Amino acid sequence: MPMPAARTPLADLDPAIALGALDGRYRGAVAPLVNHLSEAALNRARLHVEVEWLIHLTTQGVVPGADELSTGEQDALRALVLDFDAAAIAELRDIEAETVHDVKAIEYYLRRRLVDIVGADRAVSLGELVHFACTSEDINNTSYALMVQGAVTEVWLPKARALVDQLSGMARDLAEVPLLAHTHGQPATPTTMGKELAVLAWRLTRQLDRVAGTAYLGKLNGATGTYGAHVEAVPSADWQQVSRSFVEHLGLTWNPLTTQIESHDWQAELYADLARFNRILHNLATDMWTYISMGYFAQVRGQGTVGSSTMPHKVNPIRFENAEANLEVSNALLDVLASTLVTSRLQRDLTDSSMQRNIGTAFGHSLLALDNVSRGLAGLDAVPEAMAKDLDANWEVLAEPIQSVMRALAARGVEGMTNPYERLKELTRGRRIGQVELVEFVRGLGLPAEEEERLVALTPAGYTGIAASLVAHLDR
């Protein structure tokens, strides 16, 4: 067997080639998350927490006799976070190569910048308040809380709400378009397309409300959550109040009882809600795929797209299929995050550190699915004629209202209305009937004239109850 020719090592090319799809093929759809959930975003968040802790200690007079920062110096420190760029990222990478500790690298980076801001002499004493009495997890837990909060409120939630608004708009537009329902895959009581889409929009909205109500917890209480170093260093300070005011200053909810780590329960709760939203969205994707296959929707926009490489007539529902796959990947990650982050051996183990680095990937696949479903919905036109054709081919679905009218009459004591279910079963079970057969059957039931005429006039398309009006529940 001939030896293969040496191939160019793709890993050595510049610019670097992405290993994963999110940073490669799908970068455009998920790029906004880089600002919140990337490694660089984590370091920026850490720097933000360290800067704010230094400012908090000095402005609140927590350490008696410590130097104070002027307003201009505080602004200069905060500018380090606002102006965090490629040069800062590279410098931090170099520092971490020496410290082999990511949070310590942030501390050293800030100490360097402090010299530039307050001068070498003052930086000696003020530098000792950088990372004062903190364990790495004091910085990390608040950083992750801020990062996830930003990703949810600024990126994921707006995209999800926009999609649900889009779906709700379709539901309103199609509120009165009758649709043959299919329970267990079999023809069933008619509904309207709008009502069915409204059900999914309603379900998704409930999950969005839960996500929007998330409490993002944070703690700053030292190596085992006891404020041990804090109390020994400054016994006079009310360290619980200092901690609480700082965490709340960051825009987080204070957690008063922890081990070395913040317990991550809030993350597990959030990821469960996100996963539930994803699963409902997956249900929407499979339903829309099915409706397209039944001809109830036409994929008529974007005619330049190639549906099949060999069959010119095809336009494949790829947006919904892509969404299904990405929702499944997202949920696999969200589920493992939720199940593992709530456990830590005794006062601390490091599994959460590696696990949390996958948060961005979990969000990324969900965001990509949102983008695909939105684009998929935007490329659809309803085909009421196809829905009407299926309704007209299934007159047997009217067996339900007929037997229900007969039951109501029997309950009122009207003669000849007994065993309505069995009589309709004999007429319809295992056979197809049309309007002629159904009208003939109704005429022979001996119904009161008013009920007889109402049932004779009923059609499958007209048997939708109050489905159209139920869509109004979306306007709450």
Residue 3 has pLDDT above 80, yes or no: no
Residue 47 predicted with pLDDT over 70: yes
Whole-angstrom CA distances from 8 to 4, 5, 11, 12 are: 12, 10, 9, 8
pTM score: 0.93
Average pLDDT, stretch 145-162? 98
What's the confidence (pLDDT) of residue 312? 47
Is 184 an active-site residue? yes
Task: Residue 114: name the closest of 46, 55, 56 by CA.
Answer: 55
Q: How far apart are CA 290 and CA 284, in angstroms?
A: 10
pLDDT given at position 310: 52
* Residue 304, pLDDT score: 45
Please write the tens of the pLDDT for every residue from 382-394.
Answer: 999 999 999 999 9
Task: Give pLDDT tens digits for 86-124.
Answer: 999 999 999 999 999 999 999 999 999 999 999 999 999
Same fold, 29-135 and 137-306+313-389: no
Residue 366: alpha-carbon gap to chain centroid:
6
261-317 confidence digits (pLDDT tens): 999 999 999 999 999 999 999 999 999 999 999 999 999 755 445 455 454 455 789
Query: In this prediction, what percent of the chain has a pLDDT beyond 70?
Result: 96
Chain segment 239-263, per-residue pLDDT in tens: 999 999 999 999 999 999 999 999 9
Fold of 29-135: Fumarase C; Chain B, domain 1 (1.10.275)
CATH architecture for residues 394-463: Orthogonal Bundle (1.10)
Distance of CA 467 to the CA centre of its chain: 28
Neighbours of 279 (CB within 10 A): 14
Third-level CATH fold of 137-306+313-389: Fumarase C; Chain A, domain 2 (1.20.200)
Give the separation between CA 5 and CA 328, rounded to whole angstroms.
Answer: 39
One of 308, 339, 404, 469 is an active-site residue; which one? 308
What pLDDT was estimated at residue 131? 97
- What is the model's pLDDT at position 301? 58
Task: Using pLDDT thresholds of 50, 70 and 90, give the confidence band for residue 417.
Answer: confident
Lowest-confidence segment of 53-57, 206-210, 311-315, 332-336 by average pLDDT: 311-315
Length of the chain: 476
Instruction: Retrieve residue 223's tokens.
Output: 């190596």
pLDDT of residue 303: 45
**Distance between CA atoms of residues 140 and 456, nearest Å:** 71
Residue-range domain boundaries for the chain: 29-135, 137-306+313-389, 394-463
Q: What angle do CA 340, 357, 49 make, to 5 degrees?
A: 105
Q: State how far the Cα of 244 lies from the Cα of 249, in Å rounded to an integer.
A: 8
Q: Are 159 and 455 in contact (CB under 8 A)?
A: no
Q: Check if 249 is active-site.
A: no
Predicted confidence at residue 440, as pLDDT, reads 86
What rounded mean pLDDT belongs to the chain? 93
Question: How far is it, in rounded angstroms, from Cα 190 to Cα 464?
Answer: 5
> What token pair was written down for 243?
């901690």
DSSP 10: G
Residue 199 confidence (pLDDT) above 50: yes
Residue 415 has pLDDT above 90, yes or no: no
